[in-house]
């Protein structure tokens, strides 16, 4: 039988799920000296598993930052555990740059070997684990949403720890760029789609994907919903496709409000120009934050790019096209929202 505790203020019973793991597997720490479980006794700890090119992580980040600020003096410690999905997210320079640009000021454990991930038996980006002042795991949540519930658990665990500041109100946040609004799940009819051959699905170009060899691809006349493909000369690797000659395109028939694509410039970091079309036309008011209304943009760094954000909800099937004017760009994964 799980032990439970119940505090005043109509708090819910929170199971004591287990003794929380520590952070011994971190390969490096940002914004702090290395932390361990003993140092954190007496504190309420929020562990946030994230990676910087994940749209779902980016959308939760404004809440995590707001909680870190609001409850820091009451005894909350936020620990971000950066566990990379793609190879470029293992580059500590990229992670440092991302944490600075995203204004992440709380401690971040670099989990390049997934040691902390395995210790928590985690499987998701993002994932939030709440640990009480005695080091016991009391609450967890995976993915976006349930922010009010998570914050109320933070408040409850702080009360249990003896916090004199009995906060009841909830934070109000407003993100910028890709973080600006929660995903519109009611309109999403397209799944996260990987471009590399290891996890790719619904690839419609001819020939079929040729692993690790420069190959010229063509598109069929029509794409089904969630069908996508390449045109031009590309090298498809296990987790990405890299353009081997100028003027290559990626086309995707999707159904969602937002479309994002994880991209990287050429191997030497040289920027790559591109142009986006939506149903064959410049996106105009449906442009994402990383392009102009005429669809033009530049890949300057390895990260997620928001390319389409349609006004309101969109239940319509649309055809997205991105043409790269320079060689060397790498494309990793589409996400929708």
pLDDT digits (tens, 9 = 90+) for 191-247: 999 999 999 999 999 999 999 999 999 999 999 999 999 999 999 999 999 999 989
Say if 97 falls within a structural domain: yes
Q: Which of 142, 176, 210 is the last residue of a domain?
A: 176
Check whether residue 138 and residue 283 sit in a common domain.
Answer: no
Q: What is the structure's pLDDT at 263?
A: 98
Alpha carbons 66 and 68: distance in angstroms, whole number: 5
Check whether residue 141 and residue 258 sit in a common domain.
Answer: no
pLDDT at 174 over 80: no
Check whether residue 164 and residue 208 sit in a common domain.
Answer: no
For 45-54, 151-160, 162-171, 303-312, which range has the lowest pLDDT when averaged over its residues? Answer: 162-171
CATH at residue 41: 3.40.30.10
Check whether residue 245 and residue 157 sit in a common domain.
Answer: no
Q: What is the structure's pLDDT at 172?
A: 87
- 231-253 per-position pLDDT tens digit: 999 999 999 999 999 899 999 99
Say if 224 falls within a structural domain: yes
Counting the structural domains of the chain, the total is 2
Instruction: Give the Cβ contact number of residue 130 at 10 Å.
Output: 22
Check whether residue 320 and residue 262 sit in a common domain.
Answer: yes
More confident residue, 229 or 182: 229
Alpha carbons 82 and 28: distance in angstroms, whole number: 10
Check whether residue 25 and residue 131 sit in a common domain.
Answer: yes
Check whether residue 136 and residue 230 sit in a common domain.
Answer: no
Check whether residue 150 and residue 100 sit in a common domain.
Answer: yes
Q: Which of 143, 176, 209 is the last residue of a domain?
A: 176
How far does the chain reach from its first CA to its final CA, in angstroms? 40
Q: Percent of the chain scored above 70 by pLDDT? A: 92
Check whether residue 199 and residue 170 sit in a common domain.
Answer: no
pLDDT at 280 over 90: yes
Select from 180, 201, 169 the least CA-distant residue to 67: 169
The pLDDT of 20-29, averaged and rounded, is 95
More confident residue, 335 or 1: 335
Check whether residue 150 and residue 264 sit in a common domain.
Answer: no
Alpha carbons 20 and 26: distance in angstroms, whole number: 15
Say if 299 falls within a structural domain: yes
Degrees, nearest 5: CA angle 290-142-48: 70
- 74-125 per-position pLDDT tens digit: 999 999 999 999 999 999 999 999 999 999 999 999 999 999 999 999 999 9
CB 167 within 8 A of CB 82: no
Check whether residue 35 and residue 106 sit in a common domain.
Answer: yes
Q: Percent of the chain scored above 90 by pLDDT? A: 84
CB 24 within 8 A of CB 108: no
CATH at residue 319: 2.60.120.260
Q: What is the structure's pLDDT at 312?
A: 79
Q: Which of 120, 143, 176 is the last residue of a domain?
A: 176
Domain of residue 298 covers 193-336
Instruction: Please give the DSSP secondary-structure letter assigned to residue 194.
Output: E
Check whether residue 168 and residue 35 sit in a common domain.
Answer: yes
């Amino acid at each position: 039988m799980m032990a439970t505790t119940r505090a005043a203020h109509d708090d819910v019973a929170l199971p004591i799920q287990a003794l929380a793991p520590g952070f011994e597997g971190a390969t490096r720490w940002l914004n702090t000296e290395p932390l361990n479980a003993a140092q954190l006794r007496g504190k309420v700890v929020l562990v946030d598993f994230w990676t910087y090119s994940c749209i779902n992580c980016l959308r939760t980040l404004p809440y995590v930052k707001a909680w870190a600020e609001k409850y820091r003096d009451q005894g909350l410690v936020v620990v971000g555990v950066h566990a990379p999905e793609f190879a470029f997210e293992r580059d500590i320079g990229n992670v440092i740059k991302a944490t600075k640009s995203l204004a992440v000021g709380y401690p971040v454990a670099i989990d390049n070997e997934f040691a902390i991930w395995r210790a928590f038996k985690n499987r998701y980006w993002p994932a939030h684990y709440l640990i009480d002042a005695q080091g016991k795991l009391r609450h967890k949540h995976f993915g976006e949403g349930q922010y009010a519930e998570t914050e109320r658990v933070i408040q409850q665990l702080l009360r249990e720890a003896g916090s004199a500041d009995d906060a009841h109100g909830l934070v109000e946040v407003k993100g910028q760029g890709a973080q600006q609004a929660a995903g519109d799940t009611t309109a999403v009819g397209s799944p996260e789609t990987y471009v590399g051959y290891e996890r790719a699905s619904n690839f419609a170009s001819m020939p079929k994907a040729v692993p690790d060899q420069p190959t010229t691809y063509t598109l069929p006349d029509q794409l089904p919903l969630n069908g996508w493909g390449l045109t031009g000369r590309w090298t498809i690797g296990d987790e990405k496709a890299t353009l081997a000659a100028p003027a290559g395109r990626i086309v995707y028939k999707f159904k969602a409000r937002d479309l994002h694509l994880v991209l990287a410039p050429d191997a030497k970091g040289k920027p790559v120009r591109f142009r986006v079309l939506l149903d064959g036309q410049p996106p105009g008011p449906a442009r994402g934050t990383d392009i102009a209304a005429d669809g033009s943009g530049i890949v300057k760094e390895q990260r997620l790019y928001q390319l389409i954000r349609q006004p309101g909800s969109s239940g319509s099937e649309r055809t997205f096209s991105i043409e790269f004017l320079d060689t060397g760009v790498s494309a990793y994964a589409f996400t929708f929202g």
